[in-house]
Amino acid sequence: MKQTARPPAGFVDRPIVALDWTLAETLTGIGVRAIGVGQVATYASWVAQPALPQGTRDLGLRTQPNLEQLAALAPADILISPMLSSLAPRLSAIAPVTSIAIYTPDADTWQTLVKATRQLGKLTQREPQAEQLIRLSTARLAGYNAALRQQAARKGQSPLPLLMVQFMDDRHVRIFGDNSLFQAVIERMGIDNAWQGDTNAWGFATVSLEKLVTLKGRMVVVEPLPPGGHQALAHNGLWQAMPGVRENSQASAPLFLPPVWSFGALPSANRFAELLASHLLDEHLLAKHTDKELDGESTLEGETTDGNH
């Protein structure tokens, strides 16, 4: 079964499938439309941006893909992360399987993201686009860093350390630290992490709200929240005792960000940085940085070149 609809402007088709969302968003970031991705609709809720190109087929659950549909697509390669390695024997009966690691213990997360981007660029013959994504991502974070330092020098106050969380339920959160995407981003933006505790291989720890009450920092809550989350927090005594909530200060009030894939790659890193900067930077500095970025940016939109041509 082959796709017949032409890819959207700026994209090329490749006969590969990506069960892992991190790999799927990276392919999207370098202008590749895979013929299939796991859980396309749920991707839109948890990853949001970059949106998968129109025409991407949904292969069912990432951990239990529809093997009949997968075989009918006749891919040349199936991309997975090591977390899905148990699927490799069944998948390899359909097509060659390539496993690409993103989050590995004792590795520099940013460099791992860069390496994976280059690997996918080579695999899909989109090496120039991969290098462009790396270059623009690096420059964007460096630009935000410079703008935040300029703002701090003028105001005599640096941004507060951040407590970056996602709610699991009304009493427990994932809090992100070493080895996480969010940590890699704020390091490059020159912002400290208020969480110095242990984290797992994906860069987070699951903790109760009680454990955060005594920490000093600004809460950054990455959505989606559990059902009824905002209403529940309004009546949650532990939340009302959180840093920034209890002070009722605009400068330290919690920031609620729309969904960002916390286990993502460079596209999610860019999204997280942009959302943070929109809250932390004064309007004129944000506009100045954005204008400067656009002036030097050669975007992927509208590109129709393939490979090195």
pLDDT at 299 over 60: no
Average pLDDT, the chain: 87
Give the three-class secondary structure for 115: helix
Of 195, 190, 203, whose CA–CA distance to 141 is shortest? 190
What value does the CA radius of gyration of the chain take, rounded to a whole number of Å?
20
For the CA atoms of 52, 56, 57, 60, the dihedral, rounded to the nearest 10 degrees, stands at -10
Predicted confidence band of residue 175 (pLDDT cuts 50, 70, 90): very high
Q: How far apart are CA 231 and CA 227, in angstroms?
A: 9
**pLDDT (tens digit, 9 = 90+) per residue, 224-265?**
887 777 888 888 888 888 777 776 667 778 899 999 999 999
Predicted confidence band of residue 283 (pLDDT cuts 50, 70, 90): confident
**pLDDT (tens digit, 9 = 90+) per residue, 69-78?**
999 999 999 9
Tell me the pTM. Answer: 0.88
**pLDDT (tens digit, 9 = 90+) per residue, 29-57?**
999 999 999 999 999 989 989 999 999 99
Per-residue confidence (pLDDT) for residue 304, from 0 to 100 = 39
Over residues 278-298, mean pLDDT = 67
Please report the sign of the dihedral spanned by the C-alpha atoms of residue 268, residue 179, residue 223, residue 160: negative
